[in-house]
Amino acid sequence: MAIAAARPEDYTGFQRAIILATVTMATTLYATTILVVSVILPQMRGSLSATQDQIAWVVTFNILATAIATPMTGWLAGKFGRRKTMIYCQLGFLVSTLACGFAPNLELLVVARIFQGAFGAPIVPLAQATILDTFPKEKQAFGTAIFGMGVVIGPVIGPVLGGYLADIYNWRWAFYMIVPAAALALAALALFLPETRNRSTAKLDWTGFLTLIVSVGAMQLMLDRGNRQDWFQSFEIIIEAGIAILALYLFIVHSLTTKNPFLNLRHLLDRNYALGLMFVTVYGMLNFTPMVLFPPMLQGLMGYPNAIIGELLGARGAGAILGFFAAMWIAKLDPRIGLLFGCAVQAASGMWMMSFSLDVSFQEVATASALQGFSVGIIWPPLTVATFRTIDSKYLAETSALFHLLRNLGSSVFISLSITTLVRSTTVNYGRLAEFITPYNKNLQDAVALGAADTDAADGLARISVAIAKQAGMLGFLDAFTLYTAACFAVFLMIPLFKIRTAA
Dist. CA 123–CA 131, nearest whole Å: 12
Dist. CA 102–CA 485, nearest whole Å: 37
Dist. CA 483–CA 353, nearest whole Å: 11
Under DSSP, the state recorded for 19 is H
Q: To the nearest whole percent, how much of the chain has pLDDT over 90?
A: 12
Does residue 449 surpass a pLDDT of 60? no
Yes or no: domain 264-504 corresponds to CATH 1.25.40.10: no
* Coarse DSSP helix, strand, coil percentages of the chain, rounded to the nearest 5 percent: 80, 0, 20
Dist. CA 141–CA 234, nearest whole Å: 53
Provide the greatest CA pair distance for the chain. Answer: 85
Does residue 191 surpass a pLDDT of 50? yes
Dist. CA 462–CA 409, nearest whole Å: 41
Does residue 183 surpass a pLDDT of 90? yes
Dist. CA 249–CA 478, nearest whole Å: 36
> What pLDDT sits at residue 148?
67
Read off the pLDDT band of 96 (50, 70, 90). Answer: very high
CA 127 to chain centre: 19
Mean pLDDT of 423-446: 76
Read off the pLDDT band of 503 (50, 70, 90). Answer: very low
Map residue 450 onto helix, strand or coil.
coil
1-202: CATH topology? Growth Hormone; Chain: A; (1.20.1250)
| Cα–Cα–Cα angle for 391, 394, 398, rounded to 5 degrees | 75
CB within 8 A of 487, min separation 6: which ones?
282, 285, 286, 414
- Cα dihedral 193, 89, 315, 421, rounded to 10, equals -160
- What interhelical angle do 13-47 and 306-330 show, nearest 10? 140
Read off the pLDDT band of 303 (50, 70, 90). Answer: confident
342-364 residue pLDDT tens: 889 989 999 999 988 888 888 88
Average pLDDT across the chain, whole number: 81
407-430 residue pLDDT tens: 878 887 888 888 888 888 888 888
Q: Count H helices, E strands: the chain?
A: 19, 0
Under 8 Å between Cβ of 94 and 43: no
The model carries a pTM of 0.77
CA neighbours within 13 Å on the CB side: how many for 329?
Answer: 5
Dist. CA 305–CA 298, nearest whole Å: 8
Query: Who has greater pLDDT, 61 or 142?
Result: 61
- What interhelical angle do 362-388 and 396-434 show, nearest 10? 150
Read off the pLDDT band of 225 (50, 70, 90). Answer: confident
> What pLDDT sits at residue 504?
38
450-479 residue pLDDT tens: 555 566 666 666 777 778 888 898 999 999
> What pLDDT sits at residue 95?
95
Does residue 92 surpass a pLDDT of 90? yes
Map residue 503 onto helix, strand or coil.
coil
Lowest-confidence pick of 108-122, 151-165, 312-326:
151-165
Report CA-CA distances (Å) from 314 to 62, 80, 152, 355, 483. Answer: 20, 37, 10, 22, 24
Lowest-confidence pick of 209-218, 266-275, 435-444, 492-501:
435-444
